Amino acid sequence: MLQQTTVATVGPYFDRFVARWPDVSALAAASLDEVLHLWQGLGYYARARNLHACARAVVSRHGGELPDDPAALRALPGIGDYTANAIAAIGFDRPLAAVDGNVERVVARLYAVRESLPATKPRLRALAAGLVPAQRAGDFAQAMMDLGATICTPRRPRCVLCPWRASCAAAALGIAEDLPAPAAKPERPLRYGIVFWLTRPDGALLLRRRPEKGLLGGMIELPSTLWRDTPWTLAEAVAEAPAAADWREMPGTVNHGFTHFRLELTLAAAESEQPCRGIWARIDELGDYALPTLTKKVVAHGRGALRPQPVKKRRDGLLGPPPMC
């Protein structure tokens, strides 16, 4: 949960997760829908899918107990070098370096490594590995993370409180705040799509599930066109609509930001009684589904666009717009 997400944001989600699934076996027995539903709003949904798949693999391969071998840990879904080393060090006191962003920053400053990220990551991992003590590796791993999170911070590091200040090359050179040097951030491209707001006469809205793999995998959304680099016209989009109907474009757009691109969506609305592949749900039932933040934005925009606007009373006491001159 803490990958790409702050502790303050994660805290309530973590509490709800461990209350509902207190151990690996309980999580493995849950359905992916249940996991995604409890995860909604936290983002980066591949983490939820990997967490669920990992729990099932731990149960099926290791009897519900995490292995203490880093190689066996890396073979589990969603576990890479950092997570494997962190589990092995903190959980089993293996003498391994758990190098996250906080630890990279501490090591880069300690040795005054001037090369920019991410190119310098292998060197920082090697330097961190050389610092790991033979005993209490788990305590050391957590201390390094805490040092980076609370003292050796990205901005205005509190060098005067640092236990390694006397050994820190960056502090001696007065360049601690400049390290590690970030890579230039590429501009995020803007992509476009049209979302189809299809309802039945009873008011149910058509939803669909995204593919298990890929962005927002397994989550529930409204049908839409592909997201591409150029805007869609409604005439183009209806070829991808879930039903042949009298589609009309709604006013306004929905804007959303992903890590690597920005997204602008337009909504098209229609009503149809045709049988369609997907999930029909009433608006007041949408809370029962795993909806990512993007889908919640789309639903809120659609409801707002379709809501009848109140008629304002004119000063002359009449209703409606003033007469044309």
78-87 own/partner pairs: CB under 8 Å, 24+ apart? 78/46, 78/47, 78/49, 78/50, 78/51, 78/53, 78/54, 79/54, 81/125, 85/141, 86/141
Q: What is the pTM of this model?
A: 0.71
Q: Helix H segments across the chain?
A: 7-20, 24-29, 32-39, 46-62, 70-74, 81-86, 92, 101-110, 121-129, 137-150, 169-173, 234-237, 293-306
Please tell me whether residue 283 adopts helix, strand or coil conformation. helix
Per-residue pLDDT of the chain (325 residues; tens, 9 = 90+): 988 888 899 999 999 999 999 999 999 999 999 999 999 888 888 899 999 999 999 999 999 999 999 999 999 999 999 999 999 999 999 999 999 999 999 999 999 999 999 999 999 999 999 999 999 999 999 999 999 999 999 999 999 999 999 999 999 999 999 999 988 888 899 999 999 999 999 989 999 999 888 888 888 999 999 999 999 999 999 999 999 999 999 999 999 999 899 999 999 999 998 878 899 999 888 888 888 999 999 999 999 987 765 555 555 554 444 444 3
Cα angle at 139 between 76 and 127, to 5 degrees? 75
First to last CA, the chain: 62
Q: What is the C-alpha separation between 179 and 183, in angstroms, rounded?
A: 11
**Sequence-separated (6 or more) residues with CB below 8 Å from residue 163:** 147
Note the residue count of the chain. Answer: 325
Q: What is the C-alpha separation between 13 and 42, in angstroms, rounded?
A: 8
Q: DSSP letters along 35-68, please?
A: HHHHHTTS--THHHHHHHHHHHHHHHHHTTS--S
**Sequence-separated (6 or more) residues with CB below 8 Å from residue 218:** 32, 33, 36, 45, 49, 209, 210, 211, 212, 290
Q: What is the C-alpha separation between 308 and 18, in angstroms, rounded?
A: 43
From residue 96, alpha-carbon distances to 120, 131, 137 in Å are 19, 9, 7
For residue 265, report the phi and psi dihedrals to the nearest 5 degrees.
-115, 140
**What is the sign, positive or negative, of the torsion defined by CA atoms of 139, 78, 7, 290?**
negative
